[in-house]
Amino acid sequence: MLGVDTIVLCEGDVIGKPRDAAEAEQMLEKLSGKTHEVVSGLCLRTPAWEELHRDVTLVTFRPLTPGDVAFYLASGEWEGRAGAYAIQGLGGSLVERIEGDYLNVVGLPGALLVRLLAEHGLR
């Protein structure tokens, strides 16, 4: 069994999934021009063993204009996304750079998962 959940941390604040467009707008404005952490918790469990880990990726947003934010909000892509963006879609245009596992930002810490499976002899 595999369970994963992701949050965003910016300036000490936990940023989860926005409830509505107004909250998404506030989140995007907070992330604008800043580096934040994308943290995913991963639990991998079998009848024989359990692994519980986290992975952190640093994401830097470019400075966003009000027009950038309005365009992204209109796309609806922010819905159900930690930090109100999806890097694998239009949200990628908000990002200046990342440090770490891209797939972690998408929502599944792929490098961590592959490493854990390999450590247990699973390929």
Q: Are 11 and 39 in contact (CB under 8 A)?
A: no
Q: Are 120 and 102 in contact (CB under 8 A)?
A: no
Given the residues 5, 13, 20, 101, the one annotated as active site: 5
5 catalytic? Reply is: yes
Looking at the annotation, which residues are catalytic?
Answer: 5
